[in-house]
Structure 1
């Protein structure tokens, strides 16, 4: 028997343990970044499921999956092994999740009904295996230490790795899918191979987290497992109810931004070649914001800081909605088999004049928006596309007066889109480490108030709300597309384009504003938290 002392409870973690814990979330984001940013697009534009059917499927699956979280929380709270309550799941759940990820990205040749059944089954299995690993992982952060500032640092470290992985997955996935698809970014095999690489890396990272962390905080030794009682305690816990609402609302914001970006750049901006850069830099902003959380919370109380940040997000999203479609599209991806030619004036936004000459170029991808340009043997004002499907094309125009106009120069409107997106991400970034530290505070509050510690149930019930938010975001996105007449790989109607723009801009801003309202009622701050930690640290516990 190991005697737990107040020093154990308020332990200062080594960087080895902080990094080891953070690498676990890097592993999860090899799955979640694809789910959040590309899975809806994968279903509609690659697997061939209609937007309306995909909306129903994703919503139903995520809602069903959300209800597995409290059950997993109860199971984890009852678990007692020589490795602890939560760490064992990171060791034994990796292979099932790897298999589920590969099946989800597999596209068997079935009719529409068969595709839907396959999508329901594989996505549901993926989310179930994700829960089996992710819920214990989330709970683990609350039992490594109870020191509030140490938790802020731990979660900032965690989300640094999570967002760093998001940058890699967000930016590299389209190019990897194209590479492994034999030059076709819409090839199903390319997406499946990409997912298999991600799954192997994630599994290695989960094992590292298992090996480098230590559970230090345990329930009172006399506490018996009573999941229903623990759930009842949560349902009457005001701070938890507010966190539940907050998590659901903010996850809706994240999901809308992530899932609409692919459609936004393909159909509104008409620069799908910039999607990887857009998502990659978006996640880089989130990562920098997350890294700043532990510093910001030293000077501004967590709840007040979140309210300020959500207000910034809301204002910036509103401003984003006014950014117009660029007149000159610049580089264009050619992937429509029915498209037979490109006109220089369409790319440049400037009509042909006598004396103008042209140099058409093809882009060979290197990384993000950095590309090698290869000249094509054609200098006419119109480029015939025979043999040039699935290529990225630009044109350089030399005017009669000798000046040069290059379609590869990114239009100012697109630069403004990037700038606003990065600023929004910087403001959203601290949200994740701050709110996860707040979840741990709620677990401590419940233990202080009821005498029972139910870490797994507390975190699982909160991730339940996040999954409802994710389901809501996906459902809103797909339902709006279906309602406005979206058709995959076709020129979209004005109404459909407008809906895509609003899902990327106004809708996330509205949900950020709702988050501010929820935070007005949260009072687990400052002196109250200090009192709780002081009293809990004075209690004596014994753990196996």
Structure 2
């Protein structure tokens, strides 16, 4: 297999491709975070306790499959590279599984729980693992240049959040136009899934993998056991694992947004509009924090943003029924997330570089899958926390009002849990200092690569 390692000066085509891929992915995925829990409790009529169990167990299973797919990506050798072909192979099954997730079968109560468990796990594997992991890995594989990587990561984050803004803003009116209820959910997310996966195929077409191992253009396949050992010995991988876990837990708690809008705000704010503002703020935050990241570094920029998010949660906790305060809080919470989300993929690329520098083997697939493992566990915990709190509060589906205990459960899920998560991430960032070591690491890797290439001549 030959991969073109010449890096164009601007990478305009690749950057556009990554932006399109991120936009397409979240055009299909963002609705899972916002609407799936509400869909399960109020449309599929599954109890909150059962939803909590489905989400938690499924995410643990999904997290384990990340390591499998990451290993397979590292061992994939094609004319397209090792990550890009997965976008091509998995597009159709991902779209089908996403559509099936929002279908309500005419089954018994137990049958619907089993159906939800099976379809959720199929969707999670094909879409949130076999598509998401290779797509994110491309940041490290398109170029070894740190500035280009940061720009790719920020563009990916920007367009990912833009896709979420679009799919959430139009969700309520379009679902109503498509018939509302279960039919509206099914048709809307079938359409967004097809469009999103088509855009991911465009990403496949426009991007090129160029990053080689320091072993040279021909790198032997790394045995699975050896690859796992290398990643497990990478101290920054463990750090990234924890950061991804908590980073995914925070937005997973946004599954409580619909309940908060309905019961705390008495329907005064549409859930789709609020989620669009949250995602839109993240999009703007990525732009605003880009120069901060370049000047101060990725981790200080992320810590500042997370501090803003924590402050926004405190403000809303103090005035939970105030719509003006909701918008102020949303601005702080969403802009702050942009300080972290625009840097995440570039951060993992540095973890992969450190692992190659330290242990002599390049394992992007396992590095990204390991971080995704943490993200899936965090998302599972977050989703289970929301559903579990609803069960603890004795939430009644489709009721005009809820008991005080249920109201407190919704408030804790939507406001309290994100505050705790943001605070913990700030602490973890204090130990993630690999960025300071990167100039020497890149210098050493380039010297090794040049030596390996000279030996093949």
Place the TM-score, normalised by the shorter chain, in its bin: over 0.9
**Paired position in structure 2 for 1:14:** 11
Question: CA offset at residue 503 of structure 1?
Answer: 1.4
Q: 5 Å matches for 1:11-160?
A: 12-130=9-127, 131-160=129-158
In 2: Cα distance, 1:301 partner to 1:275 partner? 35
Q: Distance in 1 between matches of 2:2 and 2:223?
A: 24
User: Residue in 1 aligned with 2:420?
Assistant: 510
Find the counterpart in structure 1 of residue 319 from structure 2: 323
- Which residue number in structure 2 is paired with residue 280 of structure 1? 276
**Partner residue of 1:264?**
260
TM-superposition CA deviations, 1:291-340 (whole Å, max 9, x none):
23432212112112222222222122112101142xxxxxxxxxxxxxxx
Counterpart of 2:396 in 1: which secondary structure?
Answer: coil
Q: Measure the CA separation in 1 of the matches of 2:46 and 2:356.
A: 47
Match of 1:300 among 281, 292, 296: 296
Give the conservation status (yes or no) of the 8 Å contact 2:354–2:441. yes
2:224 is the alignment partner of 1:314:
no
1:407-426, aligned counterparts within 5 Å?
A: 413-426=322-335
Aligned to 1:376: none
Summarize the Cα distance change of 1:16–1:474 in structure 2 as closer, same or farther, 3 Å threshold.
same
Q: Which residue of structure 2 lines up, in the alignment, with residue 454 of structure 1? A: 363
Question: Are the aligned partners of 2:153 and 2:344 in contact in 1 as well (CA < 8 Å)?
Answer: no
Q: Offset at 1:224?
A: 3.0
- Superposed displacement of residue 2, structure 1: 5.2
**2:316–2:329 CA contact under 8 A, matched in 1:** yes
| Structure (1/2) with the larger helix percentage | 2
Contact 1:149/1:294 (8 A) holds in 2:
no
Tell me the residue number matched to 1:495.
405
Deviates more, 1:499-508 or 1:217-226: 217-226
The offset of 1:14, in angstroms, is 2.4
| C-alpha distance in structure 2 between counterparts of 1:303 and 1:190, whole Å | 42
- Where does residue 227 of structure 2 map in the other structure? 230
Aligned counterpart in structure 1 of residue 345 of structure 2, from 407, 428, 436 = 436
Most deviating of 113-122 and 234-243: 234-243
- For residue 169 of structure 1, report the CA deviation from its aligned partner: 1.0
Using the TM superposition, give the Cα deviation of residue 3 of structure 1 relative to its aligned residue in structure 2, in angstroms. 8.5
Contact 2:393 2:408 in 1 (8 A): no
Q: Which runs of 5+ in 1 are unaligned?
A: 326-412
- Shift in CA distance, 177/297, structure 1 to aligned 2, threshold 3 Å: same
Q: Do the aligned partners of residues 167 and 4 (structure 1) sit closer, same or farther apart at CA in structure 2, a change above 3 Å counting?
A: closer
Length, aligned pairs only:
447
Q: Cα 1:461–1:295, aligned 2, differ >3 Å: closer, same or farther?
A: same
CA offset digits 1:244-276 (Å, max 9, x no partner): 1011011111111x2011110011111165222
Q: Is the 8 A contact 1:51 1:478 kept in 2?
A: yes
Does structure 1 residue 199 correspond to structure 2 residue 108?
Answer: no
Q: Distance in 2 between matches of 1:476 and 1:532?
A: 40
Ranges in structure 2 where 5+ consecutive residues have no aligned partner: none
Structure ranking higher in strand proportion: 1
CA-based RMSD of the aligned residues comes to 1.7
Query: Does the Cα contact within 8 Å between 2:299 and 2:429 map onto a contact in 1?
Result: yes
Tell me by how many angstroms 1:521 deviates: 1.5
Q: Distance in 1 between matches of 2:421 and 2:11?
A: 37
Q: Deviations over 1:429-477 (max 9, x none)?
A: 1211212111000001101111100111110111010000100100111
After superposition, what is the alpha-carbon deviation per residue over 1:7-60, rounded to whole angstroms, capped at 9, x for unaligned? x4x654422220111111111112221111110011001111110111101111
With 292-301 and 432-441 compared, the bigger mean Cα shift is at 292-301
Aligned-partner Cα distance in 2 for 1:127–1:222: 31
